[in-house]
Amino acid sequence: MKKRLTEEDFNRFNGRVTRVVGLTVESHGPDAFLGEMCKISLQNGKNALAEVVGFKEGNVVLMPYEDVSGLKMGCEVIRTNRVLEIGVGRNMIGRIFDGLGRPLDGRSFVPEARYPLTNSPPHPLKRKRIKDPLSVGVRAIDGFITIGKGQRIGIFAGSGVGKSTLLGMIARNTTADVCVLALIGERGREVREFIERDLGEEGLKRSILVVSTSDQPALARVKSLLTATSIAEYYRDLGYDVLLMVDSLTRWAMAQREVGLAIGEPPTTRGYPPSVFAGLPKILERAGNSDRGSITAVYTVLVEADDFNEPISDTVRSIVDGHIVLSRRLAESNHYPAIDVLASVSRLMNDVVSEEHKEAANRLRSLLASYESAKDLIEIGAYKKGTNPLVDKAIEMQEDINAFLRQGIFEKSSFEETVQRLFELSSRSLD
């Protein structure tokens, strides 16, 4: 004789919604574990995916990945007994996915394997050292802030200074095997603009896009960074040199702040809960070299009110291996890309370039710094020629150096061409 299921048995596998508070849904049952994915049966007959984010007074606290219109008291919550995973495969290149790894371009996708979203970083003793440069096709970066394969670098800028355009240039021109781009918290209209204008057909052919727009639930925006990183790890495990680009890390932090505050974390620095600052090194450390391939990561950081010392900027800068600063002053003077070479640094440049390259870059940096120090006197006509030979040479070569640093959006420059022009400028500065 079959044993009848009791309410206790039912609650092991299913639950009922009892309360909705802000971004969270509370249910009596099921007997789910932290991080488990559940399905909420809505009034309209659809299922919404949600994740167990905590427990409160005997209830399960869930946060939806997607819209829960049609939710009401008593809606059934079904446990899946698994965590969120994404399908991956070599056929992802040239495709566009949402923050949960589902196709957004209307085409079917058959995965070759499944990857968890929370992988461990490569073992520190098994990471290959960063010794080789990775060309990104932007002269100001390849020449003065050279990036190595497996390096993590941040692009720091205020709004409207050209971060997305610079990412598009890098994606089209880089020598990496595969590009993985995560657009987190973007305006909906900007997604297609980025794909068609900044990335272009040429860039899309070698890229994988993960898109999570600003109107999507906070948890979906949080997961999009993990999804993009897992996809990059899959290709690294296959032996590829992967370029992972994230726009922007600040919007990921804002989404994580929404999640943290919703589940009861105390706000600390500027309203950000501790989980934001604990989560940044965990996710950023997953990039880099392994014993098979490499992930070179470029993260944009949206600087609030052009304050480069605000908490997220300061924390990211302390974790990554260099920073590229975009200057609003340069952008306003129509100098694009608006990279402030003097404020930017690659901590690994000395390990990946030749001595001649390093000396040439340092020589031109000195000229830029000399011009900057005397700029006010020069502009009002108070500087007298002959006062300082270095300033004299800086004034003479200022236009040529700026012509080297400026670059059209669709202008290509190989690493060899960039270094050759850098050497020519450096030689002239010694005349």
Handedness of CA 120, 89, 129, 358 (dihedral sign): negative
Mean pLDDT across 270-275: 90
CA–CA separation, 79 and 83 (whole Å): 10
How many structural domains compose the chain?
A: 3
Rounded Cα distance between 100 and 109, Å, is 14
Dihedral of the CA atoms 285, 286, 288, 291 (nearest 10)?
A: 120
Rounded to whole angstroms, the Cα distance separating 93 from 246 reads 17
- Decide if 5 is inside a domain: no
Q: Look at residue 4 and tell me whether its pLDDT is greater than 60.
A: no
List, in order, residues 6 or more apart from 326 with CB less than 8 Å away: 155, 156, 157, 158, 161, 162, 163, 166, 337, 338, 339, 340
What pLDDT, in 10s, does the model give residues 346-387? 999 999 999 999 999 999 999 999 999 988 888 888 888 888
**207-213 and 96-98: which strand pairing?**
parallel
My answer on whether 103 and 247 are in the same domain is yes
Place of tokens 């296959």: 238
Tokens representing 392 are 């004299």
Task: For the chain, give the mean pLDDT.
Answer: 90
Asked which of 306, 334, 352 is the last residue of a domain, the reply is 352
**Domain edge (last residue) among 30, 49, 83:** 83
Q: What's residue 196's pLDDT? A: 87
- Do 310 and 410 have their domain in common? no
Report pLDDT for 12. 63
Encoded amino acid at 144, one letter: F
Question: Could you tell me the CA-to-CA distances from 269 to 34, 237, 279, 288, 372 in Å, in that order?
Answer: 26, 37, 15, 28, 34
Co-location of 93 and 138 in the same domain: yes
Residue type, 46: K
The answer to whether position 402 is within a domain reads yes
Residue type, 411: E
Residue 2 confidence (pLDDT): 46
Q: What is the pLDDT of residues 48-81, one digit of tens each?
A: 999 999 898 889 999 999 888 889 899 999 999 9
- Determine, yes or no, domain membership for 95: yes
Is residue 354 packed enough to be buried (19+ CB in 10 Å), middle (13-18) or exposed (0-12)?
Answer: exposed
Q: Which domain holds residue 186?
A: 86-352
| Pairwise CA distance, residues 245 & 151, whole Å | 12
pLDDT score at 268:
85
Same domain, 151 and 272: yes
| Distance (Å) of CA 267 to CA 199, 425, 426 | 37, 51, 51
Query: Does some domain include residue 318?
Result: yes
Higher pLDDT, 140 or 308: 140
Query: Do 258 and 323 sit in the same domain of this protein?
Result: yes
Q: For position 431, what pLDDT does the model report?
A: 73
Q: What CATH number is given to the structural domain containing 415?
A: 1.20.1270.330
Quick one: pLDDT at residue 400?
94
Residues 122 and 235 both lie in one domain = yes
pLDDT in tens, 214-232: 989 899 999 999 999 999 9
Q: Is residue 40 one of the residues assigned to a domain?
A: yes
Amino acid identity for residue 241 in this structure? D
CATH number of the domain that residue 50 is part of: 2.40.10.170
Tell whether the model's pLDDT for residue 263 goes beyond 60.
yes
pLDDT at 278: 93
How high is the pLDDT of residue 11?
A: 53
State whether 70 and 202 are in the same domain.
no
Residue 5 pLDDT grade (very low, low, confident, very high; cuts 50, 70, 90)? very low
* pTM metric for this prediction: 0.91
Indicate whether 164 and 195 sit together in one domain.
yes
Regarding whether 280 and 140 lie in a shared domain, the answer is yes
pLDDT for res 10: 47
Of 49, 83, 117, the domain-final residue: 83
CA distance 237 to 90: 12
**For the segment 301-341, what is each residue's pLDDT rounded down to a tens digit?**
998 767 778 899 999 999 999 999 999 999 999 999 999 99
Specify whether 33 is located in the same domain as 120. no
Tell me the per-residue pLDDT of 79-114, one tens digit each, with 9 for 90 and over.
999 898 999 999 999 999 999 999 998 889 999 999
> Is 188 within the bounds of a domain?
yes
Dump pLDDT digits (tens) for 395-419: 999 999 999 999 999 898 999 999 9
Provide the CATH number for the domain around residue 269.
3.40.50.12240
pLDDT of 300 over the 80 cut:
yes
Tell me the mean pLDDT in the region 39-54.
90
Dump pLDDT digits (tens) for 143-201. 999 999 999 999 999 888 888 889 989 999 999 999 999 999 988 788 888 888 888 88
Token code pair at residue 257: 């702040």
325 lies in some domain: yes
Instruction: Please tell me whether residues 100 and 176 are part of one structural domain.
Output: yes
Same domain, 296 and 369: no
**pLDDT classification of 6: cutoffs 50, 70, 90:** low
